[in-house]
A and B are shown apart, each in its own frame.
Chain A
Amino acid sequence: MTTGKREAGDGKRDKVGSSVDGWVAGARPATATSGTAENPFFEYLLRLADDRLVLGHRLSEWCGHAPILEEDIALANIALDLIGQASLLLKLAGEIEGKGRSEDTLAYFRDAIEFRNAQLVELPNGDFAVTIVRQFLFDAWDVLVLERLTAASNQSLAGIAAKALKEAKYHLRHTAEWVRMLGDGTAESHARAQRALDDLWPYTAELFLRDAIDAEAVASGSGVDVESLRPRWRQTVDQVIGEATLTVPKDGFAPRGGRAGRHTEHLGRMLADMQSLARAHPGAAW
């Protein structure tokens, strides 16, 4: 299960999917506004950091549960890289904000509505195919984003991006290989990979949406015009999906809102788990 809508059946998927996500994204009061902020670069860094923190935590949920030992190790290693990157980015964000918030404070003492990750990364792990396909779709995007950020005018961000880019390329090679294996594997693995791709595809659109926060970061020389990355992303994705004998879904229904703090119901539950220790023992260190 990935988005909670698979049981609706193919014919009703779009309708049920949009009503579920419409409820989540639309019914909650949006205290955060999209595209404007007191400190836009802080907001921008939160977006970069939260994608990694949330996806890293999701991957860490596989630890001890992956279908084979090698993948248990792989997913935990990728999680470690992503959480490490998130830690560096949140530390920088805290410095830019200038209110004394550390990377731990930002990770553990913000609520779901204050998170700025894309909804794609907060979805439950589903089966191994969902996790791998999501990771591949993210990695293909992440490599392009980080490539641009290595030229950021903010030297700290450029340094973190250069480091993270090496890790992201390694992740992409691994997840692309797995997408090929699952798609071009057994009838069962093919069906699961295609279903994962169909379910996750709508959520990829949000990765390429830009608003005033992005525009400001781009104007200051420390941001990426994500919209312009889409053709190159499609090139990578189409190539691998093709080799995997899978079919790229049609663009259509596209949930959004994560960048403004509007999330699916899944993020709150994930954060309750992720943040419980830090909140039970505030200030604890080892």
Chain B
Amino acid sequence: MVTVADSRREEILTWLEEVKDPEVPVLSIRELGVLREVEVSGDEVVVVMTPTYSGCPAMHAMEADVVTTLARHGVPNARVRTVYAPAWTTDWISDEAKAKLAAYGIAPPARVESDDLVALRRRAPVECPYCHSVNTIVRSEFGSTACKAILFCNGCHQPFELFKAI
């Protein structure tokens, strides 16, 4: 049975598709995995979110966007609750969303390896999002935002960003 709260929740989730990561504007916060749940109880709406990185400054922008977007759709007093467990992982980004990242020019994250020693090992070759060559090198393990690294493609001589797998 679909309750009023359920259909309200679905409606709110649809509106929240408008909220994008300000640094990766092709992905909604749901596709990014930052939006965890919407809790509806009477008039009260609580949006449960989890940060990508502990210090990600874009989180504040996304939280503010959630509140203003819902207000625009006539939900005046939505609240955001932040949770830290389970910890965000790029494995939550769907294949469809990864294709959007690649089309936008950001190489999508590989599957996270659970190997204990992964911290001391180099990553597998990354495919260039422009020409699909795997003849690429890491220019910088860290990029313009906490979630990205900077690579260079020897095939098409283009720098590109990689969404770090964590």
Contacts and interface: CB of A to CB of B under 8 A. Distances in A.
Contacts of A83: 55
B60 to A, nearest CB: 11
Contacts of A78: 142
B54 A70 contact: no
Please tell me the size bucket of the interface on A: 35 or more
A32 interface: no
B120 A80 contact: no
Contact of B120 (A69, A76, A166, A236): A236
Interface string A67-88: 0011001101110111111011
B143 A87 contact: no
Interface in B26-58: 51, 53-57
**Chain A interface mostly:** helix
Interface string B102-124: 00000000000000001111100
A281 B141 CA distance: 37
Given A70-B150, A162-B87, A173 B121 contact: yes
Interface stretch (B6-14, B63-71, B78-86, B125-133): B78-86
Contact of A159 (B55, B84, B122, B139): B84
Given A167-B166, A170-B164, A159 B54 contact: no
B84 A84 contact: no
Contact of A84 (B53, B118, B121, B143): B53
B48 to A, nearest CB: 13
Interface residues of B, number: 28
Given A170-B166, A173-B141, A88 B146 contact: no
Given A167-B54, A173-B120, A155 B85 contact: yes
Q: Most chain-A CB neighbours within 10 Å: which of B57, B88, B119, B144?
A: B119
B119 A172 contact: yes
A162 B86 contact: yes
Given A74-B141, A77-B146, A236-B120, A160 B55 contact: no
B56 A84 contact: yes
Nearest to A157: B84
Contacts of A84: 51, 53-56
Given A158-B85, A172-B119, A240-B120, A163 B54 contact: yes
A236 B144 CA distance: 30
Contact of B54 (A69, A88, A156): A88
A164 B56 CA distance: 12
Given A81-B146, A156-B84, A160-B84, A173 B54 contact: no
A173 B164 CA distance: 13
Given A160-B84, A166-B166, A176 B143 contact: no
14 contacts: A70-B142, A73-B140, A81-B53, A81-B54, A83-B55, A84-B53, A87-B54, A87-B55, A163-B84, A163-B88, A164-B54, A166-B87, A167-B53, A174-B141
Given A82-B55, A159-B87, 17 more contacts: A69-B140, A77-B142, A80-B56, A80-B57, A81-B54, A84-B51, A88-B84, A159-B86, A160-B54, A162-B85, A163-B51, A167-B53, A167-B166, A169-B119, A173-B120, A173-B122, A176-B119
A-B complex: 4 closest residue pairs judged by Cβ atoms? A84-B55, A84-B54, A159-B85, A159-B84
Interface of A: 69-70, 73-74, 76-78, 80-85, 87-88, 143, 155-156, 158-160, 162-170, 172-174, 176-177, 236, 239-240
